[in-house]
Amino acid sequence: MESWVIILGICGLYLAITLAMGIIPGRNVSNSVSGYVAGDRSMNLLLLYFVMGASIFSSFAFLGGPGWAYSRGAAAFYIIAYGATGMIPLYFFGPKVRRLGKKHGFVTQAEILEDRFNSQTLSVVLALLSIIVFIPYLTLQMKGAGYVLTTISEGVIPQWAGAGIAYLVVLIYVFYSGVMGVGWTNTFQGIFMMIIAWFLGLYLPEKLFGGVGEMFTQIAESDMSAMLTAPGLTAGGAPWDWWGFSSAVLVSAIGFSVWPHFFMRSFAAKSDKTMKLTVVLYPTFQLFLVPILIIGFSAVLAYPGIEPADTILPYILTQLDLPVIIIGLVCAGTLAASMSSGDAILHSAASVGVRDGLAKFLPDRWNTDHKQRYLIRILVIVISLIAYYFAIFSDAPIVNLLLGSYGGVAQIFPLVVGMFYWPRANGAGALAGLCGGVLVTVLFLLHPEWRPVPLHEGIYGLIVNVILFVSISLATQPESESRINRYLNA
């Protein structure tokens, strides 16, 4: 029997276990929007830690992270820099979000912002923005699954089929179980991925160079030594400047805590203590990004010239004399990385799309709890198909897809800060700031040559966002005192 058949069999078994773990929890929550979207607000520390933590271990980590280390060297350290700090804001506003959600029935980010700023238009704009930034994020995960199954099957399974197989499993359990299916599968996948990451991160340098230290010594003494000098290289191989590196870290750290699928987990937390402990423990996940980057560095001298760089991990596995069972488990772990983020993104995108978008335009008979749950499930299917289309026909590198999305989602951060900490903030200012920031971000994304200095486009968007938010809020009427006090005293 061909070795790739055995490897695929192991991946198939993993997918079957994941499907079962995703479907069973759906039987233990209420048949309501709150049950489907927020898990009846019952997530304990273990589930919440892995739901939020496993989102780091996505295709971005297992494929994009090694891909950047392999092709751009020290530039990949930006991933650890923003991941270690990006969750800090949630320590302060996460418990407030949880309490307000429980008291007023909020289950999405846009719902709570709509209430604070008294603007239904803001809710719809946020719904559109969330879906727009979610689709490339979900596309990233599907591309990763496709890469893995295509490479390990030696091309027998094309990329479109690999992505389709993995995400059919995700679609089924998200459709059926909602956030609790996401929670339990992420816990299983997260533990599995941690073991795989450390195994590979220590084994590959030992196998190829005799150890991690010897690996870096040989890179430093070669003509590739520039890869070890911060801030690393650009995609074209030229030195990356500090403008680009530091602004990439900054915009990612700002956007990290306000990704809708992260933010919405505050509504699912069992208690304030659970929420705070999750944030405090969250940086420990960065420890598992260290071996992920070492994987990429281990291939710099051993396997030069591999394209695309995002496929370097599965490529290495096909070149080493590893037992097929080990290769199968590693590939299953890589699939877990893709699926553990994809399910959370898909669930959140559909929930936001219905609760904060479609629901504003539907007649009353379609705005019942039962009908909204039905519509969220339909949108799960629609968004899956849209992301799948882009996964098959888009050639953008994996990390670039995610970094581009961060510029847009970071524009939500000033609104969240204003919601809880600035009494004078109002709906007119919030809407103007958000729209202005997104438009400027998109403008500089499409025309990078227009930037005065080579900062990430999201930084320019944030500058315009804050100026508009503050000036228009001060120039227009504040929200009612009772509304403001509800958030200031949360």
Cβ–Cβ < 8 Å for 206, 57: no
- Domain positions in the chain: 3-398
Q: Which residues of 255-276 are buried (b: 16+ CB within 10 A; e: fewer)?
A: bbbbbbbbbbbbbbbbbeebbb
Q: Which span out of 107-111, 193-197, 345-349 was modeled with the highest average pLDDT?
A: 107-111
Mean pLDDT for the stretch of residues 89-99: 94
What is the Cβ-side half-sphere exposure of residue 323, based on CA atoms within 13 angstroms? 4
The pLDDT of residue 129 is 87
Q: Which of 20-29, 31-40, 83-92, 397-406 has the lowest mean pLDDT?
A: 397-406
pLDDT in tens, 32-71: 877 887 777 877 888 888 877 776 566 667 777 899 999 9
What span, in angstroms and rounded, lies between the C-alpha atoms of 103 and 43? 17
Query: Each residue of 213-226: pLDDT tens digit?
Result: 999 999 999 999 99
Is pLDDT above 70 for 124? Answer: yes
> What is the distance of C-alpha 294 from the center of its chain?
21
Q: List, for residues 439-470, the tens digit of each pLDDT value.
A: 999 899 888 899 999 899 999 999 999 999 99
pLDDT of residue 403: 62
- For the domain made up of 3-398, give the CATH fold: Sodium/glucose cotransporter (1.20.1730)
Asked if the peptide bond before residue 231 counts as cis, ω within 30 degrees of 0, the response is: yes
Residue 304, pLDDT > 70, answer: yes
Helix residue spans in 303-361 (DSSP H): 312-319, 324-352
Q: Is the dihedral of CA 175, 262, 253, 439 positive or negative?
A: positive
- pLDDT tens digits, one per residue of 307-336: 888 888 878 877 887 788 888 888 887 788
Yes or no: say if 38 and 352 are a contact pair by the CB < 8 Å rule: no
The conformation of residue 104, written as its DSSP 8-state character, comes to: H
pLDDT at 123: 92
Contact indicator for 192, 333 with CB cutoff of 8 Å: yes
Average pLDDT on 134-149 reads 82
pLDDT value, residue 402: 62
The DSSP-derived string for 404-419 is HHHHHHGGGHHHHHHH
Mean pLDDT over 401-416 rounds to: 84
Residue type, 397: P
Q: What is the predicted pLDDT for the residue at 469?
A: 98
Residue whose C-alpha is closest to residue 426's, from 477, 461, 487: 477
CA distance linking residue 48 with residue 57, whole number of Å: 15
Name, of 91-105, 169-183, 341-355, the range with top average pLDDT: 91-105
